[in-house]
Chain A
Amino acid sequence: MRDVGIVAFAESQLTYGTTNTPVEMIVPTVNEVLKNAGIERTEVDFWCHGSCDYMTGQPFSFVAAVDALGAWPPIIESHVEMDGAWALYEAWMKIQTGEANVALVFGNGKSSAGDMNRALTLQQDPYTVAPLWPGLTAMEGIGACAALQAGTVTERQMAEAASRARRDGAKNGNVLVSGSESADELLSRAVTSAPFRDHDLPAMADGVSAIIIAAGDAAKRIAKRPAWIRAIDHRIDHQNLGWRDLARSTSAAIAASEVGVHNDKVDIAELHTTFSHHEQLLINALQLRPDATRITPSGGALVGNALMAAGLSRFGHSARAIFDGTADRAVAHAQQGACLQQNIVAVLEGN
């Protein structure tokens, strides 16, 4: 396997209700990540993009994004109908084939374009589930109830996750929600859609995330301290809620095992928590020890969830911690699908 490292990261200022088009959102962030890397667009061998038509409300919505890349002369580029974290995976794979050395990946989503909770119903079984229009919050609620009943997650753990996310978000600066409430204070608030309180739900956002990865010497040339991707793996669970144990995320556990999360210490783990109970489920699945590992120090998607970009942002924030020496070894995670159905996990190292 070739050594591949994350060498630059850029994230748009998260907002909700932007009047920019997706293309107008993408251009500045792509140009920023190129600037952060100190390279020209012509030095990028492969571009890969993650986004979702149904979230934009237009078929072929990603096609316009090519306009944002200055794709002339023609470029080598691909698109996945997945979070940008999987676009990173495709680029990493392409570099492993030897056909590219430097890749730029990005993910973008405009959650304010519509009622995403309702639209995400369409991810479900079209014959037996979608026609009931459950909405994502209800599906996640079922998952949270299962976990609470099984005792793999507690209400207190959910509140602690939300409390920490809001406090860390305040330090991060690029989130939509922040606060200083303790877990107790949050627990005293009303349950609004059982078992969730408002702060247990993701703060939906509009945003773009972009990352540049590079192989070996190219990575060392671009970044002083690349965040080397030591291992990366992704897995999926059954979708049908009745076919899997909702009290745990099996696919996240498999991916974590495949990448060897515990081959060495884990300084930080950026988990793509969108609903607060995900945090503990993922801590369980990845067998993390919160006393030894900082969990999602960026605040994470709970306080700023730009669909299709938030997962890639976890990779970006982990990498940033390695760039600035805050961490030597980090775990990055992204997910998609209701109830943590699909997960991607990577181990990043600075040395």
Chain B
Amino acid sequence: MGANRCAVIGVGQTNHTSVRADVSIAGLVREAVDRALESAGMTLADIDAIVIGKAPDMLEGVMMPEMWLTDSLAASGKPVFRVHTAGSVGGSTAIVAAQHVMSGIHKRVLTVAFEKQSDGNAMWALSVPTPFGVPVHAGAGGYFSPIIRSYMRRSGAPAHIGAMVAVKDRTNACKNPYAHLHEPDWTLEKALETPMLWDPVRFIETCPSSDGAAALVMVSEDVADTMNVPKAWVHSTAMRSEPTMFAGRNQVSPRAGELCAEDLYRKAGITNPLEEIDVCEVYVPFSWFEPMWLENLGFAPKDHGWRFVEDGVTEMTGKLPFNPSGGVLSTNPIGASGMIRFGEAAMQVMGLAGEHQIDGAKKAMGHAYGGGSQFFAMWIVGSEKN
């Protein structure tokens, strides 16, 4: 771990929904940024550096929009940085922002991740057909559902597990005013009646397409110590990547994810993650990824992740709540989702999660992944200094 501590002192996010026709891209970004600054008790003038993250620029049709957003973020004369690591970008952006502070170079850093994907055509942008390929995929769902089938077969998981997770996340989202989907009436029975989109993945087990942004204000220890606001201390961060495809790759539980988690726990001094972590915000865009990530992150033994779901371990009342915010399954602005996870984890240990607060949460994990389950970014935040 670096010599310098870093604390999150402000978290902001937009009211996520399918089309934010009421704001420009800059307006969307400022909504999250202004809320983060307000909760930190700061203004843009206090910020030393800005780190921006988002997914492919084809989603909005603006190349390197952070260069244009400089004007809207009062960033003239400051360092502005742009991270792009596919779906994990919201998470890796938060990590790069933390490193701006942990390196000792900056004291007050603003980071924002966003996607205004209704401005373009998201499904096209996610799978632009390239020449010489075969147009068999149907977007992300078509890519991931065969992998999910492999998990179900390998683990012997019963078919209703995906629906259980979906009902949990959509119900949790009703306690989150910022979430895109607010659907209070789901039951397991109703969920199992929804149609298969890419068999074995059902309609309810799939994330929405959202416009949204999330922002964090991160400061150095000496600055944090002078401020009388709730803080989330960054205990550890970790990133890992592996190739999209190579002969013999395990796509169900990628090694990069396992190693990333191991590194994360080791640096945070965590030896028993299931006991020591109070709540997790984990990137689950298709509900079956919850049992898969439970195993990948070392919480559940191999092939037993689904049992944790069935036993209610990941419910808000369970031993290890997953996604009390409703998760990606309830809100998915692609570039922002990772930072929403990292931000929601921070909110938990800051005591700022309102109705979806897990009581007494002192240590939380934020998790994001991207590409073909190949890019992983994670952090552990705590209410106390590490």
Contacts and interface: CB of A to CB of B under 8 A. Distances in A.
- Verify whether A and B have any Cβ pair under 8 Å: yes
Interface string A46-62: 00000011100011101
Contacts of B242: 66, 71-72, 74-75
A128 to B, nearest CB: 10
Interface string B278-299: 0000000000000000000000
A149 interface: no
B191 interface: no
A58 B245 CA distance: 18
B330 to A, nearest CB: 24
A89 B64 CA distance: 18
B60 interface: yes
Q: Name the prevailing secondary structure of the B interface residues.
A: loop
Contact of B243 (A67, A119, A124): A67
A320 interface: no
A98 B64 CA distance: 30
B61 A126 contact: yes
A341 B67 contact: yes
A250 interface: yes
B66 to A, nearest CB: 8
Contacts of B244: 63-64, 66-67
B102 interface: yes
Contacts of B100: 93
A77 B103 CA distance: 17
Question: Chain A interface: which size bin?
Answer: 35 or more
B268 interface: no
Given A53-B56, A74-B240, A238 B70 contact: yes
Interface string B317-354: 00000000000000000000000000000000000000
B61 to A, nearest CB: 7
A237 interface: yes
Interface residues of B, number: 61
Interface stretch (B10-18, B79-87, B217-225): B79-87
A250 B77 CA distance: 8
Contacts of B75: 236
Nearest to B127: A59
B148 interface: no
Contacts of A59: 55-59, 125-126, 128
B173 interface: no
B119 to A, nearest CB: 8
Interface string B45-65: 000000000011111111111
Contacts of A54: 57-58, 63-64
B259 A73 contact: yes
A130 B62 contact: yes
Given A93-B99, A236-B75, A60 B86 contact: yes
A235 B60 CA distance: 25
Contacts, number: 176
B166 interface: no
B99 A97 contact: yes
Contacts of B383: none
A126 B68 contact: yes
Contact of A74 (B80, B96, B259): B259
B105 interface: yes
Contact of B371 (A60, A76, A119): A60
Given A72-B242, A126-B60, A236-B67, A98 B3 contact: yes
Nearest to B6: A97
Interface string A64-90: 101101011111111111100010011
B56 A72 contact: no
A254 B77 contact: yes
A67 B68 CA distance: 32
Contacts of B61: 122, 126
B78 to A, nearest CB: 7
B2 interface: yes
Interface string A249-281: 011001000000000000000000000000000
A1 B104 contact: yes
Contact of B85 (A78, A96, A254): A78
A236 B80 contact: yes
A78 B2 contact: no
Nearest to B125: A59
B60 to A, nearest CB: 7
B314 interface: no
B337 to A, nearest CB: 15
Contacts of B104: 1, 96
Contact of A337 (B59, B67, B85): B67
Nearest to B65: A126
Contact of B82 (A82, A120, A122, A124): A82
**Which of B2, B59, B76 counts the most A-chain CB atoms under 10 A from its CB?**
B76
A328 interface: no
B84 A97 contact: no
A185 interface: no
B81 A73 contact: no
A125 B256 CA distance: 38
A123 B103 contact: no
A66 B243 contact: yes
Interface in A118-145: 119-120, 122-127, 130
Q: When A and B form their complex, which 6 residue pairs have the shortest distance between CB atoms, in order from nearest?
A: A59-B56, A97-B2, A96-B103, A74-B256, A122-B63, A81-B84
22 contacts: A54-B58, A58-B130, A66-B241, A71-B242, A73-B255, A74-B259, A76-B241, A81-B82, A82-B64, A90-B99, A94-B103, A97-B4, A98-B2, A99-B2, A122-B62, A122-B63, A123-B62, A130-B62, A233-B79, A236-B75, A236-B77, A237-B70
Interface of B: 1-4, 24-25, 55-65, 67-68, 70-71, 75-86, 92, 96, 99-100, 102-105, 125-126, 128, 130, 239-246, 254-256, 259-260, 371-372, 374
Given A80-B83, A236-B79, 5 more contacts: A74-B240, A77-B239, A79-B84, A97-B2, A123-B62
